Structure 1
């Protein structure tokens, strides 16, 4: 028997997204949208002089899986560099595609029931794609 796609923990995360307000003066922003389902995630960041995320804000208009992924990203992104976020994004994409191990990011195992549902993968990746792009943009502007 397969595990349910939308379980209690996914729904709990979807309902408790941290940093769920846009920043008023972000150093970098990015919006990512899934053409398959229309889910959309906008991420604003500020970075410290070393290019690590020091503040984060999000606007999440996504399905429960996209919201849960944004919640996991938001809970652990502060203090991460663009390179660390890109590595998480890339390992998540590889894992969802069946081309890599479970990524080293807290909570990703919750998406195991979504692995056979490739139409859901884009929504799960959105927050990580957006935070990586926003952090790279912010780091390029950060004073050295």
Structure 2
């Protein structure tokens, strides 16, 4: 198993700022306000910003509702479409889908969603793009 420092170096490079003391932490208890805040934060990114995601579970078809909306996207948007749109607009998007590689490759039920998410994100093309912008930005570790 890789250490966090090894993973940061492998996927984010030496210059990536993953955390610093000026990071703002907001607490959300209500799911609706939590997912709206995620959508707003992702949608507000511009060229040069960074979106890094690491998780045990990721569904690119999960719908985020309301809030800020880039002009190319509908009010209700799938998180995979939003991330592909941001990458197409030159935001640094990197997603690590975590889990046991052996279990995922053997199609174990608990890891199948991340395996499917990897294939989905690598081929997702946002409006206005000609090629999948997340190719090379999504890994399964």
Higher relative contact order (CA 8 A, sep 6+): 1
Tell whether the structures are fold-level matches, with TM greater than 0.5. no
Structure with larger Rg: 2
TM-score, structure 2 length as denominator?
0.30
TM-score, structure 1 length as denominator?
0.29
